[in-house]
Amino acid sequence: MSYTQIILEKKGPVAYITLNRPEKCNALSIKLSAEFADAVNNVKSDDDLKIVVFKGAGGNFSGGDDITEFPKWGTTANIIERGKLYQHTADEIEGLNKVTIAAVEGACVGGGLEITMVCDFVIAAENSRFGIPEIDIGMTPGWGGTQRMGRLVGRRRIREMILLGTMLDAHQAKEVELVNKVVPAGKLQQAVDDLIGLVLTKPQDILVLGKFIILKGLEADLHTALGFEVVAGALNTTTRSMKESTTSFSQKTPLWRNRREKAEEYYREYPW
């Protein structure tokens, strides 16, 4: 598929998927949604990729669905199929065996916010605004927001955001765990690059296994989830990654020191 409303770039082990309708605040048109789903499938099948970054063009992440297209959505059956495409795409992003990062600036509302909810990390510029205001145009969320948001921010906050349409600034979004880190607007790309550098220091096979345990554990009862953890721990001991990593830790070689230094830098406040 050729793309006109998104941009897919691959740079070494990192893919960048950019929502590219800046004149429409990167609204999720029918065409953009189809291209986006195709791009997600593309990166899923590329074993050379370790990280996928999602972002928006023109100073905004996404303003959500393109309401000018609502008359084109068709019958109830058509709309259900569209909703299923949304949710399938979100599921695919969440389950990718790669680290996913949302780089957010400006508007991040509706379906745009729901896309970030399935990413592993969300880095937001200070000028970001977050919300699910579909209630004000007579709609409910369609990308999975009613369920995923409740697993992230809690029942009280989800009622405010979905039933009242309240908006959050970047710092408020971080307080309720919709965002990992807030940075000055001009430093967003640097912050994303720093996170990419940190992720790439980690043993990728163990990182993917850890992601799998977290996701599947949240879907299971506690004792089943703990069983996943035990089995994964046993699998770790057979990997080359664990042998190299434990040796590096014991000998304090650059491999281990670099991982720890970058991890500690990530948690420090940025100096600007």
Q: Which residues are catalytic?
A: 114, 134
DSSP element (H, E) containing 24: none
In angstroms, the CA 70 to CA 260 distance is: 50
Give residue 147's identity as a one-letter amino acid code: Q
Token duo for residue 14:
């990192």
What kind and span of H or E run contains 130?
A: strand 129-131
- Torsion, CA 188, CA 7, CA 50, CA 42, rounded to 10: 160
Give the C-alpha separation, 21 to 262, whole Å.
35
* Contact criterion met (CB below 8 Å) for 72 and 29: no
End-to-end, the C-alpha distance of the chain in Å comes to 42
Q: Measured over all CA atoms, what is the biggest interatomic distance in the chain, rounded to whole angstroms?
A: 65
Q: Which are the contacts of 214, defined by CB distance < 8 A and separation ≥ 6?
A: none
